[in-house]
């Protein structure tokens, strides 16, 4: 049942929980044999896996029993007998793999490894039912050894110890075929390996400029060729096939607009059927005539982008999602034979009548001419003539994506909808360093943390001001991970540009950031952080890194800052938040700091998400003047520790007291 939205003279106030709490259902899948549907949904408030007969979705039953963090991803085994999930402890990212029997709902920990070790799924194949190849870093935390696993019985045996490879490539016969070694200074070499993982001849070399845009993505059915995304000799990554014995390269697809972003393949033959390019929006192109009509039909039926989440082994039925900005995902079963769509569920039916807003894609030019694909959303009622420009400038939130080796894209975005509903324009920018737009776009970020990467964000804000979108006196900056770092850079390097900032798990000191990375990141640091920022072990680099760290410039902060941190974060450890918060408190600067004792790199538990975002909503209302739903009992069940600034946000002190006493705040 949809909630009764709060009355407003402007537009309905969407309840925070409807936007940011657990979805009603999500992640719809169909089993390879076509007999089952599966999805994630809450059980007693915690996300778990549910299954139902494909011909009787109403007969769903829950088959996992997680009671703590909830399950955030699931996938079918090729024989349709089990669903596999992964889980860590409190966000530490030391994942175990679990198998749940579809018939009995019995769940087994397939990887009962010691604390601090991590398991990863590498390969399964329908021709080898019950078998899987996995990686485990129990022997050496830097490197993943190969194990053969029987997911029916849980039996596991060592296949190959890792002598120093950053990654493995397993073929369709579940045999190790290649190993990846990073090159000092960046880049990687790909070597042939035998069945025991012993290194042979060099197969391919990837120079450092191509490191983020070139990768192996899977073997042909006969294991004689391998598919790649490859930017070597070009800017935008193409989809290619390489014959393993001869090295002959065949280009299958490419684009001048952006990298190839996705491939759809036949589940049995493994032949590519279609590819996607995501510039302003994701667009699919058929490679095989057999799917041309399907893609055309889905495009005619959908308001947004086509997303194919799973398919039966015979490829006759797909689970698809219409990814439109104005509606959260609706999962549908597409029958290719009858060309019919059957709705399975909406992930957030409570938003069916909510005033959700369109997202505007735009290409903004940076000061040096670099194209910055960006997206913005306006508050309801602010653009009466529908030209994409509000009738008058509005308070604006610059929301910066993490990574930085990731990207923002078109589609339903909870943060955009939430903040637009509270009265703000929301702007997201694919600054240099973002992936998907070619290697030139990525490599222009080398050495530019707090430099040109930040200039791109400022250029986008200036564009929004010039267009009449943003009120120049009411612009906030926020984001998570790199977005948190960008926030700290924003309030230190450009303190007059922003009215306030929201930093979620962002690094404040690039030296301590890199010195505390988890061991299994170390094999790839040369081509990533060391190349793009510098090696803190080298004195000449260290001086520059210190200068690029917001902590060095904390005395320049003039505006309020809100910090959110997960105590168990292995990527951006708690010291990053502690350092900046302590420095601000010492200088009597306004900072509110929330730490979550059972979270890692972000907030997975809905109780934690809702408590932090309630605080953020109140914080921004005071800073930018937008609307806010009262904090109320948003802290109920959360693990939040308010380590600074409890009196800086209206209702925060009362919510904290109510949490301690078990009562609801006014």
Residue 102: phi, psi to the nearest 5?
Answer: -65, -40
CA dihedral 555, 556, 560, 561 (to 10 degrees): -80
Q: Say if residue 505 is preceded by a cis peptide, omega within 30 of 0.
A: no
Rounded to an integer, what distance in angstroms lies between the CA atom of residue 201 and that of residue 191? 6
Catalytic residue (one of 210, 259, 569, 598): 569
Annotated active-site residue 601? The verdict is yes
Q: Nearest 5°: CA angle at 442, between 242 and 571?
A: 100
Is 569 noted as a catalytic residue in this protein? Answer: yes
Strands 119-124, 131-140: pairing kind: antiparallel
Active-site residue (options: 481, 549, 611, 638) = 481
Cβ atoms of 600 and 88 closer than 8 Å: yes
Of 652, 604, 522, nearest in space to 167 by CA:
522
Catalytic residue selected from 210, 601, 638, 639: 601
Q: What span, in angstroms and rounded, lies between the C-alpha atoms of 92 and 576?
A: 16
Q: What is the dihedral of CA 152, 155, 159, 161, to 10 degrees?
A: 130
Asked if residue 160 lies in contact with residue 144, where contact means CB atoms within 8 angstroms, the answer is no
Residue given tokens 């793999």 in the structure block? 97
Angle among Cα 226, 231, 237 to the nearest 5 degrees reads: 85
DSSP three-state, residue 420: helix
DSSP output for 306-349: EEEEEE-TTSSEEEEEEEBTTB--EEEEEETTTTEEEEEEES-G
Q: Cβ contacts of residue 462 below 8 Å, gap of 6+?
A: none
Query: Helix H segments across 561-630?
Result: 574-586, 606-624
The residue whose two tokens read 């194949």 is 125
C-alpha count within 13 angstroms, C-beta hemisphere, residue 48: 19
φ, ψ of residue 662 in degrees (nearest 5): 80, 15
Nearest-angstrom CA–CA distance, 571 and 521: 9
CA contacts within 13 A on the Cβ side of 513: 27
Catalytic residues: 481, 569, 601
């Amino acid at each position: 049942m949809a909630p009764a939205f709060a009355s407003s003279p402007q537009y309905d106030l969407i309840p925070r929980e409807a936007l940011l709490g657990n979805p009603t259902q999500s992640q719809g899948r169909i089993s390879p044999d076509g007999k089952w549907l599966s999805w994630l949904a809450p059980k007693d408030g915690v996300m778990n896996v549910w299954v139902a007969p494909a011909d009787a979705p109403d007969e769903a039953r829950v088959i996992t029993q997680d009671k703590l963090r909830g399950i955030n991803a699931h996938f079918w085994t090729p024989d349709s007998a089990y669903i596999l999930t992964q889980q860590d402890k409190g966000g530490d990212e030391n994942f175990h793999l679990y198998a749940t029997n579809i018939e009995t709902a019995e769940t087994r920990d397939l990887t009962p490894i010691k604390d601090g070790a991590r398991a990863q799924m590498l390969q399964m194949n329908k021709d080898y039912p019950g078998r899987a190849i996995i990686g485990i870093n129990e022997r050496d935390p830097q490197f993943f050894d190969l194990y053969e696993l029987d997911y029916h019985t849980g039996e596991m045996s060592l296949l190959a110890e890792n002598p120093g490879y950053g990654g493995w490539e397993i073929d369709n016969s579940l045999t190790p075929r290649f190993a990846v070694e990073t090159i000092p200074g960046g880049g990687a070499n790909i070597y042939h390996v035998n069945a025991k993982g012993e290194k042979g001849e060099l197969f391919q070399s990837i120079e450092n400029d191509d490191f983020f845009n070139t990768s192996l993505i899977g073997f042909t059915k006969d294991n004689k060729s391998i598919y790649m995304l490859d930017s070597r000799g070009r800017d935008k990554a193409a989809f290619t096939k390489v014959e393993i014995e001869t090295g002959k390269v065949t280009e299958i697809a490419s684009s001048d607009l952006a990298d190839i972003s996705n491939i759809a393949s036949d589940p049995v033959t493994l032949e590519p059927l279609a590819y996607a390019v995501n510039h302003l929006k994701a667009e699919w192109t058929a490679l095989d005539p057999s799917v041309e009509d399907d893609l055309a039909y889905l495009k005619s039926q959908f308001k947004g982008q086509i997303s194919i989440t799973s398919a039966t082994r015979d490829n006759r039925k797909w689970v698809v999602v219409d990814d439109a900005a104005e509606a959260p995902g609706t999962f549908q079963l597409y029958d290719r034979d009858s060309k019919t769509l059957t709705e399975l569920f909406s992930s957030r039916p409570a938003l069916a009548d909510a005033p959700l807003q369109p997202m505007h894609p735009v290409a903004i030019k940076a000061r040096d001419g670099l194209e910055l694909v960006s997206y913005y959303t306006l508050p309801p009622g602010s653009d009466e003539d529908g030209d994409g420009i509000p009738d008058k400038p509005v308070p604006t939130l610059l929301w910066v994506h993490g990574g930085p080796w990731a990207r923002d894209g078109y589609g339903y975005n909870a943060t955009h909808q939430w903040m637009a509903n509270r009265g703000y324009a929301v702007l997201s920018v694919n600054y240099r360093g973002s992936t998907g737009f070619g290697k030139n776009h990525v490599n222009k970020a080398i050495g530019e943390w707090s430099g040109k990467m930040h200039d791109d964000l400022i250029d986008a804000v200036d564009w929004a001001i010039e267009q009449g979108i943003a009120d120049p006196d009411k612009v906030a900056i926020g984001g998570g991970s790199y977005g948190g770092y960008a926030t700290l850079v924003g309030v230190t390097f450009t303190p007059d540009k922003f009215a306030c900032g929201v930093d979620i798990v962002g690094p404040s000191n690039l030296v301590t950031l890199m010195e505390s990375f988890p061991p299994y990141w170390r094999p790839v640091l040369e081509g990533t952080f060391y190349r793009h920022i510098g090696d803190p072990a080298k004195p000449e680099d260290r001086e520059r890194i210190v200068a690029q760290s917001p902590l060095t410039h904390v005395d320049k902060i003039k505006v309020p800052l809100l910090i959110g941190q997960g105590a168990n974060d292995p990527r951006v450890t708690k010291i990053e938040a502690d350092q900046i918060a302590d420095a601000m408190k010492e200088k009597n600067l306004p900072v509110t700091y929330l730490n979550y004792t059972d979270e890692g790199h972000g907030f997975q538990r809905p109780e934690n998400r809702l408590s932090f975002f309630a605080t953020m909503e109140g914080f921004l209302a005071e800073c930018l003047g937008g609307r806010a739903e009262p904090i109320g009992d948003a802290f109920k069940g959360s693990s939040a520790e308010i380590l600074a600034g409890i009196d800086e946000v209206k209702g925060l002190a009362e919510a904290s007291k109510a949490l301690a006493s078990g009562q609801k705040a006014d």
